[in-house]
Amino acid sequence: MADAARVRDPWGARTPYGPGEQWPVRVDTGGDPEADSWVPSASVLHSNGDAFDIGVRDGRITGVRGRAGDRVNRGRLDPKDVYGWRATASSDRLTRPLVRSGDRLVESDWETAMGRIVRRSRELLDGPGGWGRFGFYTSGQLLLEEYYTLGVLGKAGLGTPHMDGNTRLCTATAAAALKLSFGADGQPGSYTDVDHCDALALWGHNVAETQAVLWMRMLDRRRGVNPPAMLAVDPRDTPVTREADVHLALRPGTNLALVNGLLRLIIERGGADEGFVAAHTLGFDELRAVVDAYPLGKVAEICGLKPADLERAADLLGGSQRLLSTVLQGFYQSHQATAAACAVNNLHLVRGMIGRPGAGVLQMNGQPTAENTREAGADGDLPGFRNWENPRHVAELARLWNVGTARIPHWSPPTHAMQIWRYAEQGSIRLLWISATNPAVSLPDLARIRRVLAKPELFVVVQDIFRTETAEYADVVLPAAAWGEKTGTFTNADRTVHLTRKAVEPPGEARSDLAIFLDYARRMDFRDRDGGPLIPWQGPEEAYEAWQRCSAGRPCDYTSITYADLERGGIQWGGERLYSDGVFATDPDHCETYGQDLSTGAENTAEQYRAKNPGGRAFLLGAHWRPAPEVPSDEYPLHLVTGRTITQFHTRTKTGRVPELDDAAPFAWVELHPADAAERGIADGDQVRVESPRGAVRVVARLTGVRERVVFVPFHYAEQAANELTITAWDPVSRQPLFKVAAVRVTKEG
């Protein structure tokens, strides 16, 4: 067994502090503290942006040391930060390109591998279907410079709208809720709001396990003088719900009914900030009419909660002066995701709890660089939070890239990831380029995904650092340089940008993702209108400068943040808090979206939007709760929710290779309520079978405090993949898949 002190003590010693004080420094380290040099970086194993230096000796990474001066972590590291860096030096990294030869992948060289991709690209581009044949499925784990380059080559080189990332599975709902309520993507709040708040509400967010350093900050406030009250909304028993003053263990898929009901109670008890509502919002009367349909008794019944607990929650939320909310996958991957996330925004707007120290919303991110996928347009969005329906925004990009506006896809909503997979299934997409994601484990309903990946007419490119389950289906596998082996920037959940510098050489012939995208653009000979190269930049800093120009004047303006500034520590774009002047990004010429219908996802037209005359006001957006598309039945009587555990990251390509982390949770399990277990003759530690209409997994039973009739399976394990069980369905607005909505049965293995 590897010694893993920080796995046993994940949050470390408390450093209590009081309201308005600065969070004390605590410098954590991992590995060998002796190094020849220290290179600035930050964590890529969650969205928190914990800043640390990478220690290097003899050309190898020897350890990590938290950065005391950084605004995000003030020196602290979480267990994955402490040990996870070891994955970079794994002996089974991809070191050479692989190409398909019959049913095998064989080692090759870059000329051959890129040659095959370019030949197929040209055939497809010149043939019927053209750009429509290309799909790019990227990540929330590359770097800003890489996304921007990918965005430009896809949007202005090939001209395809079929670009998205695993960010669709992750934070599409955060983006949608921010755009719809406030006019543009971009986190309103700041982590420093934890320092000032008097109440914390965690909506479907197991922050203790998923952003452990942010949790340390919350715990330190809870142990200091005048601690904030805490509400947790989660059907499971987690470290967060155990700490909370009020825990609402609601029935899964009922978030929207809950928040509507809480808002109704708050308004009824005089908790609305009428001045703020009148000056800074639109739609109060319509929202009021919606939430009035959610009286206490009805909400208690829908959500399966006690009316008294709902009242306690409403008192906590309605009585606070400085309320900070965080929202994550318990909302985003559940039923009516965007409507429920917007309902939390509604609550903050109605209470005037935004844009002040301690009063804010964090519509969280999950992956380390998800924010940048969205900003830089490596997903379907146009770079710089530009509005695809606004001809002026498209013209700005055309000018910047020196291409015709017709080249840039903007005639319909961008293709979302689930639709890209559908097109690949139906055969219209013929080249699918997958970078830094492992869909053969992470997408819903894996039996279907394997069928799509295996289609002979689909040319699959996989760009990864390891030979993953997805790589096995590839026609070409490109070996990428990992974190620590390349330079670039990325932005965390509270808009803090960090620089990560190359500390060591990549193994073998592995190349940075930036170098790979640039090489493809060069080989495809993408040109601008004057015959010059479409993508003239060479290295990360030049790519960053190109991005700075693209971001100028937009909400995510990076022009004042240079690499040299970032050497000293993380910097937030947009300043500490957005909207502190009460002016939201809803101006029709500035906004990122003209809005969507919360129930159907249908897009508004520019005329409809202008007619609302938002004038910098935020939108209050009400919607009614409806039952989820799959609910427990006689045959499948239990509600399955899937998610995470503190020591493992996603499909475990990294954490499964680090003994300290792997040992902590090497196999999957299912959490069951003791009564549900007893009914099935299941004891703690028994082998059980979890089965849905799509598939089955064998896992160990754990009897826990999860809500009755609800079971939880972590999704990290390729051999026991929770996604064998999940459904192909998504939120109509954000198009984020419903990973927390499925019905299963559990039986003891004989």
Binding residues for ligand MGD (CB under 6 A): 46-47, 80, 139-142, 166, 169-170, 203-207, 209-210, 233-236, 238, 252-253, 255, 328-330, 333-334, 366-367, 435-439, 441-442, 463-466, 468, 480, 482-483, 513, 641-644, 646, 648-651, 653, 712, 715, 722-723, 726, 739-740
Q: Under a CB-based contact definition with an 8 Å cutoff, are residues 174 and 341 in contact?
A: yes
In terms of CB distance, is 328 or 431 closer to ligand MGD? 328
- 13 CB-near residues (< 8 Å, 6+ apart): 26
Give the H/E segment covering residue 566.
helix 563-567
Residue 141 binds: one of ligand MGD, Mo ion, none (C-beta under 5 to 8 A by kind): ligand MGD
Partner interacting with residue 437 (select from ligand MGD, Mo ion, none; CB below 5-8 Å by kind): ligand MGD
Choose among 723, 732, 157, 144: nearest CA to 433: 157
Provide, rounded to whole angstroms, the least separation between the CB of residue 371 and ligand MGD. 12
> Of 141 and 415, which has the nearer Cβ to ligand MGD?
141
Rounded-to-integer distance, Cα 411 and Cα 56, Å: 49
Residue with tokens 């340390």: 216
Q: Comparing C-alpha atoms, which of 674, 745, 735, 661 is closest to residue 706?
A: 674
Q: Show the tokens assigned to 536.
A: 């003239």
- In the list Mo ion, ligand MGD, none, the entry touching 325 (Cβ below 5 to 8 angstroms by class) is none
* Nearest distance from C-beta of residue 110 to Mo ion, angstroms: 31
CB of 381 to ligand MGD, least distance (A): 17
Q: How far is the CB of 385 from ligand MGD (least distance, A)?
A: 21
Which one of ligand MGD, Mo ion, none is in contact with 739 (Cβ closer than 5 to 8 A by kind)?
Answer: ligand MGD
Q: Which helix (H) or strand (E) holds 99?
A: strand 98-101
Q: Which residue reads 């607990």 in tokens?
A: 309
Minimum CB separation of residue 36 from ligand MGD in Å reads: 24
Q: How far is the CB of 467 from Mo ion (least distance, A)?
A: 22
> Considering only 164-172, 193-201, 424-432, 625-633, which stretch makes contact with Mo ion by CB under 5 A?
164-172
- Contacting Mo ion within 358-387 (CB under 5 A): 366-367
Least spacing, CB of residue 143 vs ligand MGD, in Å: 8
Nearer to ligand MGD by Cβ, of 209 and 389: the residue is 209
The distance from CA 363 to its chain's CA centroid, rounded to whole angstroms, is 10
The pair of three-digit structure tokens given for residue 386, joined into one six-digit string: 């530009």
Residue count at the site for Mo ion (CB under 5 A)?
A: 3
- Helix H or strand E segment including 401: helix 391-401
What DSSP element (H or E) covers 116? helix 110-126
The residue among 329 and 338 lying less far from ligand MGD, judged by its C-beta, is: 329
Instruction: In angstroms, give the least distance from the CB of 594 to ligand MGD.
Output: 27
Instruction: Report d(CA 390, CA 367) in Å as an integer.
Output: 29
End-to-end Cα, the chain, rounded Å: 31
Residue 691's φ and ψ, nearest 5 degrees, are -135, 135
Taking CB within 5 to 8 Å according to partner kind, which of ligand MGD, Mo ion, none is near residue 210?
Answer: ligand MGD
- Residues with Cβ within 8 Å of 39's Cβ and at least 6 positions away in sequence, in order, are 53, 54, 56, 501, 502, 503
d(CA 339, CA 727) in angstroms, rounded, equals 20
Residue 345 binds which one of Mo ion, ligand MGD, none, with CB within 5 to 8 A depending on kind? none
Smallest separation, CB 665 to ligand MGD (Å): 10
Q: What would the two tokens of residue 492 be?
A: 């965390």
Beta strand pairing call for 638-643 and 323-327? unpaired
Alpha-carbon distance of 568 to 691, in angstroms, equals 51
Q: Do the beta carbons of residue 499 and residue 449 sit within 8 Å? A: no
CB of 557 to ligand MGD, least distance (A): 26
Nearer to ligand MGD, 164 or 513 (CB): 513
580 by Cβ neighbours in 10 Å (0-12 / 13-18 / 19+) ranks as middle
Cβ proximity to ligand MGD, 26 vs 707, nearer residue: 707
Please tell me whether residue 156 binds Mo ion under the rule CB under 5 A: no
The interface partner of residue 497, options being ligand MGD, Mo ion, none and the CB cut-off 5 to 8 Å by kind, is none
The residue (of 260 and 651) whose beta carbon lies closer to ligand MGD is: 651
DSSP state letters, 207-246: HHHHSHHHHHHHHHHHTSSSPPEEEEE-SS--HHHHH-SE
- Which is closer to Mo ion, CB of 15 or CB of 651? 651
For the chain, helix, strand, coil in percent to 5 are 35, 20, 45
Cβ-proximal residue to ligand MGD, closest one? 366
**Residue 639: CB minimum distance to ligand MGD, A:** 8
CB of 717 to ligand MGD, least distance (A): 11
Q: What is the per-residue binding string for Mo ion in 114-153, x denoting contact by CB under 5 A?
A: ----------------------------------------
Shortest Cβ distance from residue 417 to Mo ion (Å)?
Answer: 12
165 is a contact residue toward Mo ion (CB under 5 A): no
Give dist(CA 135, CA 162) in Å, integer.
Answer: 5
> Which of the choices ligand MGD, Mo ion, none does residue 180 contact, using the CB cut-off of 5 to 8 A by kind?
none
User: Which of 240/296 has CB closer to ligand MGD?
Assistant: 240
CB atoms within 10 A of CB 708: 16
Site track for Mo ion across 539-578, x = CB under 5 A: ----------------------------------------
Q: 3-state class of 702 per DSSP?
A: strand
261 near Mo ion (CB under 5 A): no
Phi and psi based region of residue 304 (left: phi greater than 0; alpha: psi -120 to 50; beta: remaining)? left
Partner whose binding site includes residue 480, from Mo ion, ligand MGD, none (CB under 5 to 8 Å by kind): ligand MGD
List beta partners, residue 338.
none
In sequence order, the β-bridge partners of residue 163 are 136
> Is residue 204 involved in binding Mo ion (CB under 5 A)?
no
Q: Cβ closer to ligand MGD: 122 or 306?
A: 306
* Binders in 307-366 for Mo ion, by CB under 5 A: 366
Which two tokens mark 410? 């903007």
Q: Quick one: 362 or 397, whose CB is closer to ligand MGD? A: 362
Shortest spacing between CB 367 and Mo ion, in angstroms: 5
The H or E element spanning position 175 is helix 172-182
Helix axes of 307-319 and 296-303: crossing angle, nearest 10 degrees: 110
Which of 170, 246, 296, 394 binds Mo ion (CB under 5 A)? It is: 170
Which residues in this chain contact Mo ion in the complex, by CB under 5 A? 170, 366-367
